């Protein structure tokens, strides 16, 4: 299958079109023919090199929509041809953290396209339980723009409760969401102390939060915002656009 992958970390130039094997399925997994994959700053960090063991050559891309192409032997719920979104954050779904809806605290939590192969390719695989059906209310590109922009900020407030969220000023909300601006920020501790700010981390939203977001998008309470759509082969240019912060909304690639 065609994939935009990299064999060594580095700048956008390490991304190359490669012919890699189609993912082989475990009994509980599903093969998805990728129709769209939205870009995330995580893709850039992973491409640049993080101290985490990742499969190589690496296929990034965590915000994937597509069509079910093959199902594993034990899969009953997914049907060939079904339109789906792959939940980016994947966890064990039965530990204490998962049962509290704090999936990203699970010991087994990982993000597709980071610790596993992602969606910058013709096909991606996922456990059947990580597939979420999507309607024809929006295009594949638009649905791919949904998971992280809405879900992480929502979880920042919902996980800690409204009172806690309200007591923290917009300063923290902005800091939480814009962690993608870089690894380090400068804080004037005098104002931080006297104005009683606090810092909260929100790595990823929960599956529960994502489901709620999908329902709101379905009802058109919110609308996915797509900045631009690039063909898969132009992933390099697409990531450069994101790194230069030239976009408004999500950048999406289509195989
Ligand atoms: Zn768990």
- Residue-level pLDDT at 169: 41
Backbone angles phi, psi at 110, to 5 degrees: -150, 165
Largest CA distance in the chain: 60
**pLDDT by residue for the chain (255 residues), tens digit each?**
999 999 999 999 999 999 999 999 999 999 999 999 999 999 999 999 999 999 999 999 999 999 999 999 999 999 999 999 999 999 999 999 999 989 989 999 999 999 999 999 999 999 999 999 999 999 999 999 997 765 554 444 443 333 333 334 444 444 444 455 566 778 888 988 898 887 777 777 788 889 999 999 999 999 999 999 999 999 999 999 999 988 999 999 999
CA of 207 to the centre of ligand 1 (A): 12
CA of 211 to the centre of ligand 1 (A): 17
CA of 18 to the centre of ligand 1 (A): 34
Half-sphere exposure of 123 toward its Cβ, with a 13 Å CA cutoff?
17
* H/E segment holding residue 251: strand 250-254
Query: To 10 degrees, what angle do helices 147-158 and 170-177 make?
Result: 140
* H/E segment holding residue 98: helix 96-99
Q: What SS3 class is residue 140? A: helix
CA of 95 to the centre of ligand 1 (A): 4
- Residue-level pLDDT at 181: 55
Q: In Å, how far from its chain's centre is CA 78?
A: 21
How far is 241 from 144, CA to CA, in rounded Å?
Answer: 18
33 to each of 22, 123, 131, 179, 218, how far by Cα in Å? 10, 5, 13, 31, 22
CA of 206 to the centre of ligand 1 (A): 11
CA of 94 to the centre of ligand 1 (A): 5
CA of 156 to the centre of ligand 1 (A): 19
Q: Can you list the domains of the chain with their CATH numbers?
A: 2-146+204-254 (3.90.180.10), 160-201 (no CATH)
- Read out DSSP for 34-66? EEEEE--HHHHHHHH--SS---SSB----EEEE
Q: Which residues fall within 8 angstroms of residue 255, CB to CB, at 6 or more apart?
A: 2, 34, 35, 37, 121, 122, 231, 232
């Amino acid at each position: 299958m065609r994939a935009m992958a990299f064999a060594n970390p580095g700048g956008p130039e390490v991304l190359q079109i490669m012919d890699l094997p189609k993912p082989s399925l475990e009994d509980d997994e599903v093969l998805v023919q990728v129709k769209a994959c939205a870009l995330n700053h995580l893709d850039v960090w992973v491409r640049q090199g993080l101290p985490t063991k990742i499969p190589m050559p690496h296929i990034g891309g965590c915000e994937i929509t597509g069509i079910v192409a093959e199902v594993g032997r034990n899969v009953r719920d997914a049907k060939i041809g079904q339109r789906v979104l792959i939940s980016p954050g994947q966890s064990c779904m039965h530990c204490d953290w998962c049962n509290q809806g704090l999936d990203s605290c699970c010991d087994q939590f990982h993000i597709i396209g980071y610790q596993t192969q992602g969606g910058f390719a013709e096909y991606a695989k996922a456990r059947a339980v990580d597939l979420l059906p999507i309607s024809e209310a929006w295009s594949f590109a638009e649905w791919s723009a949904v998971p992280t922009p809405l879900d992480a900020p929502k979880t920042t407030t919902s996980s800690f409760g409204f009172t806690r969220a309200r007591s923290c000023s917009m300063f923290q909300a902005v800091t939480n969401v814009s962690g993608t601006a870089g690894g380090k920020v400068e804080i004037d501790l005098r104002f931080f102390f006297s104005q009683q700010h606090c810092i909260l981390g929100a790595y990823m939203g929960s599956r529960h939060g994502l489901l709620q977001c999908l329902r709101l998008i379905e009802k058109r309470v919110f609308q996915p915002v797509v900045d631009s759509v690039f063909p898969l082969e132009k992933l390099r240019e697409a990531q450069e656009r994101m790194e230069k912060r030239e976009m408004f909304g999500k950048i999406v690639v289509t195989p």
